Structure 1
Amino acid sequence: MASTQLELLGENIDSVFFVFAAAIFLIEVIELGFKGNFSRAKVTEMLASASTQVPYRLIEAFLMTGLYRLFHVLAYSSIPWMMDISWTTALLAIVAADFAYYWEHRIAHRVRILWTQHAVHHSSRDYNIITAIRFGPLESVWSLLAHMPLLLIGFPPELIFFGIIVVLAYQTWLHTELVGKLGRLEWVLNTPSHHRVHHGCDQKYLDKNYAGILIIWDRMFGSFQEEEETPTYGLTTNFNSKNPIKVWFSEFPELWRNLKSSKTIAEIFGYLFKPPGWKAK
């Protein structure tokens, strides 16, 4: 398989999930209208979620472009055991990228400096398809670093980026309440039901179901939780702002206050790298 074929395949897969997600979004809007729940607050929340694409895309254009090129240079100058691009290695790359995503995602929930970015995705009290594109500005930087082990294994950058695209594209349709449980598929795949749990701020749902495509990683590593009742969505802290700037940087004011109050290097380290909610004694 040529690199251009791989890029085309990635674009086609992305387009399929985009169309599927767009159809779900249209149904969501129609349902809100019929139920009389299509309020100004719902619209502003959707706009706030969509606005996160502005800083995210700017970072992608100006910072991540350079980092992607560095990734390529490192791959082809320092790693002689690079795999060939084929249908087999493309499938392996998706599985490997999905496994890497599980740990990328899990660590982002447990390291506060990374949580400042990922919390943006979780800060909405609504749960709909637009929530799927609610990203922190620098989330892609951590994603690239988390997938670097795949490069060292021997996956070419083209395959790694292909895997990342497929894993992220798959997750778009998960952000909906329209789809119930999917029977036996629930044992293997990440589904809307599993992902609703992940967005819940109820105590039993916190830090569960990190999966991208395959829920088997959560089952294997002890982070699985079945959906038992409709979750309460959002953060454990009370965040309801629709202001785009506050949404983009919601976690930074409190982190800055914590760092200013720190008395030792150990406390600074704790506030940056220990789990969200950690406090100095």
Structure 2
Amino acid sequence: MSDLLHAIGFIITFGVFFVGIIIAEAYYWHKKGRTDIYDFKETLASITTGAMYKIVDGILIAVVITGLYDYVYQFGFQYTPNDGIWSILLIFFAVDFVFYWYHRAMHNIRWLWTGHVTHHSSTRMNFSTALRQNFIYDLNFGWLIWWLPIALIGFDKDWAIIAIELNLAYQFFIHTEVVKKMGWWEKFFNTPSHHRVHHGSNPKQIDTNFAGVLIIWDKLFGTFVDEDNAGKIKYGLTTRQPTTLNPIRLCTDEFICMTKDIIRHKDFKILYKGPNYVEKTYGRQEDTSNQTFVGSKTP
């Protein structure tokens, strides 16, 4: 029960904080005369999907993840963080490194993409886009990729929760067009400039800059593209851009689409192949009963 109360407290505290920043950014762009950066209905849809996600996520962390974490912990290295700053740095690097691969997997495995696609469906880049998340993240077990390696290292679950939530909190601040370039910070850390490229749907921008906090992982593993070399950025998906702002539809349509594709083609490889596997293999047969499902960012 205490874990659940802590999760609820975190959601409320940071929810109010983030919404306050969204309002401030919207006011800034309004004063600048840029009415294209924010759309009230889209912003409301993003905040609603984010709220649904965090409620489900908070319950899952409190009821399932912490229990599983304790179970897996006993089979790991059971590292005791008693080395001060070095322990903090170790969990920071470990959480961020694992997130890079988790994020990369979400773009390359359709089962995981069904959750992540919602985040990429926005055609605008602003702080509300950061909250455009999907509760399917917590229902498709993709979180195992992120949580279990940290448990096996042996960090205390409270340390893990703090490190993961701070990693996600940092990522909120890179969803903006207010900040252009950040000098030397760009060399080592993920920034709004780097993340704008990640959200782009033009060829040079797709499947790039997967970093959470540290951009060094993309530079090490060949997925980094500088904004100066990315061309004009167009936000959104390459195919089946949603025409609905219904938060439930934004979160579930791609999962429904994937399920229909498996039934139609009788091909279970669709689950673990890339988001564009069906288009490449079978061609896209549009479902006229559901024209607003979201789809693949990858061409």
Q: Normalised by the shorter chain, which TM-score bucket?
A: 0.7 to 0.9
The structural deviation recorded for 1:61 is 4.1
Moved more, 78-87 or 254-263: 78-87
Give the match for residue 251 of structure 2.
Answer: 248
Instruction: Map Cα deviations across residues 130-174 of structure 1 (whole Å, 9 max, x no partner).
Output: 111111113244234323112212222222222211211111110
Instruction: Map Cα deviations across residues 83-137 of structure 1 (whole Å, 9 max, x no partner).
Output: 2354431221111101011011000110001000000111011110011111111
Query: Is the Cα–Cα contact under 8 Å of residues 109 and 275 in structure 1 kept in the other structure?
Result: yes
Query: Percent identical across equivalent pairs?
Result: 34
Give the Cα–Cα distance (whole angstroms) in 1 for the partners of residues 186 and 59 of structure 2: 39
Give the match for residue 238 of structure 2.
Answer: 236
Matches within 5 A, 1:23-172: 23=21, 25-35=23-33, 37=35, 42-75=39-72, 77-79=74-76, 81-85=78-82, 86-140=84-138, 141-172=141-172
Give the Cα–Cα distance (whole angstroms) in 2 for the partners of residues 32 and 130 of structure 1: 15
Which of the pair has the greater relative contact order for Cα pairs under 8 Å at 6+ separation? 1
| Amino acid in the other structure paired with 2:152 | L
Moved more, 118-127 or 56-65: 56-65
Check 1:21–1:212 CA distance in 2 against 1; reply closer, same or farther (3 A cut): farther
Q: Tell me, which stretches of 5 or more residues in structure 1 are unaligned?
A: 1-6
Give the match for residue 192 of structure 2.
Answer: 192
Give the Cα–Cα distance (whole angstroms) in 2 for the partners of residues 209 and 38 of structure 1: 25
The structural deviation recorded for 1:239 is 2.0
Instruction: Map Cα deviations across residues 63-98 of structure 1 (whole Å, 9 max, x no partner).
Output: 332222323431554446332354431221111101
Query: Is the Cα–Cα contact under 8 Å of residues 110 and 275 in structure 2 kept in the other structure?
Result: yes
Moved more, 134-143 or 210-219: 134-143
Give the Cα–Cα distance (whole angstroms) in 1 for the partners of residues 73 and 202 of structure 2: 46
Secondary structure, in 3 states, of the residue corresponding to 2:238?
A: coil
The structural deviation recorded for 1:243 is 1.6
Query: Is the Cα–Cα contact under 8 Å of residues 208 and 224 in structure 2 kept in the other structure?
Result: yes
The structural deviation recorded for 1:256 is 2.2
Cα RMSD after superposing both structures: 2.6
Give the Cα–Cα distance (whole angstroms) in 1 for the partners of residues 73 and 256 of structure 2: 41
Query: Is the Cα–Cα contact under 8 Å of residues 199 and 234 in structure 1 kept in the other structure?
Result: yes
Query: Hey, which of these two has a bigger chunk of helix by percent?
Result: 1
Query: Is the Cα–Cα contact under 8 Å of residues 118 and 139 in structure 1 kept in the other structure?
Result: yes
Query: Is the Cα–Cα contact under 8 Å of residues 94 and 162 in structure 1 kept in the other structure?
Result: no
Instruction: Map Cα deviations across residues 33-81 of structure 1 (whole Å, 9 max, x no partner).
Output: 5416169x81000011011134313422443322223234315544463
Moved more, 187-196 or 151-160: 151-160
Structure 1 length normalisation: TM-score?
0.84
Q: Tell me, which stretches of 5 or more residues in structure 2 are unaligned?
A: 1-5, 283-299
The structural deviation recorded for 1:26 is 0.8
Give the match for residue 174 of structure 2.
Answer: 174
| Amino acid in the other structure paired with 1:65 | A
The structural deviation recorded for 1:20 is 8.3
